[in-house]
Amino acid sequence: MRFPIRLKFSILIFLLILVITDVILWFTIHRVRESLTNEIELQGEILARIIALNAEDPLITNDDLYLAGLVTGATENEGVGYAYIVDNNGIIRAHNRIEFVGKHSEAFIPPSNLYDVALPILLAGKKEIGKVSVGLGTERIESITSAMQLILILIVIVGLFVGILGAVLLSNYLTNPIKELVQGVQAIAKGNFEQRISRKSNDEIGDLTFAFNNMAKSLKEKEQIKDAFRRYVSRQVAEEIFKDPSKYIETLKGMRRKVTVLFADIRDFIPLAERLPAEKVVVLLNEVLTIMSEIIFNYEGTIDKFIGDCIMAVFGAPIMHTDDTNRSILAAVDIQRAIENMNKKNMEEEIRIGIGISVGEAVVGNIGAKDRLDYTVIGDSVNLASRLEKVAKAREIIVSEEVFKEANVPYVFTEPRFVKVKGKEKPVKYYSVII
């Protein structure tokens, strides 16, 4: 089901106003309730403190009649539900309800709708000789908060009505020019690069109209440049460069960047090529390279070059991801599995692949002659990946120590092994992926 943008905008404004008003409603009620509770608590503390001060001597002299007068007088105050005095043994010495006098304090269960305030009775302000408890009603809190809640709900309803009305008017103002822009885009999609839209306002919509007209003016020229650019770089590289030319122009000139390099080579291909007719060799090689290329593209890697029966892929240039290392390993595993599936279908000739992966800093950019350039990467990580690929056995995926440390894939690696490679003074530690 298709929902117009004006409906989405109106719903968004409605939900936004609803959320804001609900937050204001909750915050206001919460603050009022908290303020009234503090007021009742203060009232209870004052009343309990007065009783405690006057009950000190009568409690010591066992003047229960005077204590009874204190609690009875306290309950005559508005909102006071109960008041009682207990001694250190927990015995109620005075209560506004006579049936609880002489019983343990646990015999009296305060009503849940009353707020209890308890203070100690201190002898000479130091030794505790008893306790006074006062219960105050919370009806005032409920009545005031209920009335305020009703008023706020009415304000919310009015605010929602006004907000929806404003959202409808504003959405109409915004969507009419957008409809014209949609029609213009559809015209350009059909190849009409002469399409223009008249600017009717001096705001963001007007700026969008102006930008659309500039886009239509330069789009044809840009497409021509992209077609020419694809003649010496891959389609993937060209598309990324034209998404943000200012960002990638420096890359083409040459820059250092962390990349993950993958080399995959067909094992024992020369003997195979000598046994088969040349036509079949080309068909078989193209099939293998196509399978590997498609998998690398699925993980948004870049095909750097084909070197005979070997493919070199780069993850991290020109497209950079936070998980380029993981992508390279996943691509390598998929390549091995895809080749195995191909072998099951073609039982005549078995293709076996060895793969080496390395990660590190490399120089990325256009390398070559004046009239012929290749977008490639150069660096120690490239050399190491190539050396590891040479070490890899058939159906084996070898990764460098740096790749192993960065990897976060659902596969297990072998224990580390060491190999002496050209260009390295010390043996290189490497791991194999267990598929």
CATH number at residue 279: 3.30.70.1230
Instruction: Check pLDDT > 70 for residue 336.
Output: yes
- 219 with 360, same domain: the answer is no
What is the domain range of residue 221?
191-229
Q: Are residues 248 and 225 in the same domain?
A: no
Q: pTM (2 decimals)?
A: 0.49
CB atoms within 10 A of CB 182: 11
- Domains of the chain: total: 3
Same structural domain for residues 418 and 290?
Answer: yes
DSSP string, 222-260: HHHHHHHHTTTS-HHHHHHHHHSHHHHHHHHH-EEEEEE
Q: Please say if the pLDDT value at position 231 is more than 60.
A: no
- pLDDT value at position 127? 83
Domain assignment present for residue 151? The answer is no
- Would the CA dihedral through 150, 152, 153, 159 be positive or negative? positive
Q: Are 307 and 198 in the same domain?
A: no
Whole-number Å distance between alpha carbons of 287 and 264: 14
Average pLDDT of the chain is 81
What whole-number distance in Å separates Cα of residue 38 and Cα of residue 136?
A: 12
Listed in sequence order, the residues at least 6 apart from 418 whose beta carbon sits closer than 8 Å to its beta carbon are 427, 428, 429, 430
Residue 1 has pLDDT above 70, yes or no: no
Q: Are residues 103 and 195 in the same domain?
A: no
Verify that 55 and 124 share a domain, yes or no: yes
Residue 51's identity, in one-letter code, is I
> pLDDT for 381-433, tens place per residue?
999 999 999 999 999 999 999 999 999 999 999 999 999 988 788 899 999 99
15 plus 79 within the same structural domain = yes
- Span 371-377, average pLDDT: 76
Report if residue 186 sits inside a domain: no
Query: How does residue 233 score in pLDDT terms, banded at 50, 70 and 90?
Result: very low
